[in-house]
Structures are given as structure tokens and as C-alpha cells.
Amino acid sequence: MAGSDERDYVLGTHWEEIERLGLQHRVWRPQVLECWRRAGITTGSRVLDVGAGPGYATLDLAEIVGPTGEVHAAERSGNFLQHARGACQARGLANVRFHEQDLMAGPLEVADMDATWCRWVASFVSDPAKLVATVARALKPGGVAIFHEYLDYRTWRLAPPCPPLESFVSEVMASWRASGGEPDIALSLPTLLEAAGLTVTRLEPKIFVIPPTDFIWKWPSAFVETNLLRLLELGRVDEAWVRSVREALRAAEADPKTLMITPMVLEIVAERRG
């Protein structure tokens, strides 16, 4: 999610970030589609996409639920929503309703949803409990809330170990928390969901271990480059530090025996009690 100030999202909402999020969605899409199928999202479902970003998941959801279903895309970045609207128009999808709204600022006028989808949003908001309450109110009894959020961000490492990347991960986490978010928010979500009247029905960790030749490598690699520039822009690091991280990652990529362990994500499915 991003905000009225289009740079207050920790990574920005500019075109380069829209492209990076597209790559990220392609990497995770097989996992996500299977998650949605298991959770019961199907033809005719009514789904809320929480923090929809540029709309990559929104498009997939709209095609799955079809013209008899409905997708509500809630996002506070006008840049992101403009991209999402254009993509839906290009595909002739008329079953999407857009809500340009900061979920921390007020209630969302969406109710009786069969499902909600929330990926890497709870980790950025100032009040995760408020977000969970919003999700709970949007669901009908028996509806399901689905989350993909980071569980242990420090699992992001290289084998053999790479101290510059570990320094980068530490700095990312520090900048994330300085902006009011929490990278390891999945540690708290099950308790928050139960308190909001939902019963957790599925918990599954997700992690990749990949060599540089795997296309998934492009996802964390692109994040490093984008966030190096962002950290420099914020004044948190200097040019020498940026060079050291960049050079270390390039050296790792040049060695086909290198392995990357990605940050651990927790898949959570919870059902709203009647």
C-alpha cells in the first residue's frame, strides 16, 4: 500500500516499483493461485483485495470469479490504482470495484465478502489490529481471510554466507520499522485474527532456496537494487555501502553454486465465526 504522499510507502509507488511488483507477482502466482483454490475462491465469489497495489492479484481474482462474481480492490495509492484500472480495462474486466482509501484512516464500505486477500500489507500499516478488524467486518459469516506476510525476514541469506547482504537485510528491517511497519508481522497475526472473531484454519510457511539460474532469483535481486536506491535517498546509507552490497550480490550471482534463501512467508487462512 502507499499513501496520499506517493513516496510514503517504504519503496515508493513509481513506475520502477510497479514493474518490480509485477515480477514479484509472477514469482508467487503459482503459490497464490493454489492458495486461493484451497480456500474456496471460485466462480461467483465476492472477494476483497486488501492493499491491491498495481492490481496484479486483482486481475487474477477478477478472471477467476468471472462476471457473476465481484472483486473490490482497496488501495490508497492513486498511482497504483490508475495502473490497476487501466489493466482491467485492457482485459475487458467489468467486475472490479476500486476504493482509493487509506485503511488506517477510516472504515471501508465493503461487506458480505466470501474472501479477503492481503499480501504484504499488514507488515506496512501502523495498526495491524485495525487492519484485521477491517478484514473481519468485510467478511460474511463463514467467509475466509487469506494472508501472505513475512514470518522471519532474517531468513533471507546466501549460502555461502554473504555479510554485505546480511547488512542490507538488517538495514531494510530497520528502515521498515522506522516507517511504522513490522517486517515479521506474521508472528502476531494469528492472535489478532482470533481476537477479531476469526478461527485460523491453515498455517503454512513458504520459502525458496534457489541458485542464480532460477528465475525466482530475479525477485529478491530486483528488490535489492530498488531498495539500495531508496535507502540512499532516505539518507540511511552512503554510496560506499551501496557499492559493497551491489558488488557482493553480483559476485554471488556469477557463481552458479551460490544458493539464496528467501525471507520466510507465512500463509494464513482464517474463517470468520458466525
pLDDT value of position 168: 98
pLDDT value of position 3: 36
The phi-psi region of residue 220 (left if phi > 0; otherwise alpha if psi is between -120 and 50; otherwise beta) is alpha
| In the chain, where the domains are located | 15-272
pLDDT value of position 10: 46
pLDDT value of position 4: 37
Partners of 150 in the β-ladder: 265
Query: Which overall architecture, per CATH, does domain 15-272 show?
Result: 3-Layer(aba) Sandwich (3.40)
pLDDT value of position 194: 98
Q: Cβ atoms within 10 A of the Cβ of 260, count?
A: 24
Cα–Cα distance for residue pair 88/80, rounded to 1 Å = 13
Low-confidence residues in the chain, pLDDT < 50: 1-13
3-state secondary structure of 267: strand
Task: Tell me what the pLDDT averaged over the chain comes to.
Answer: 93
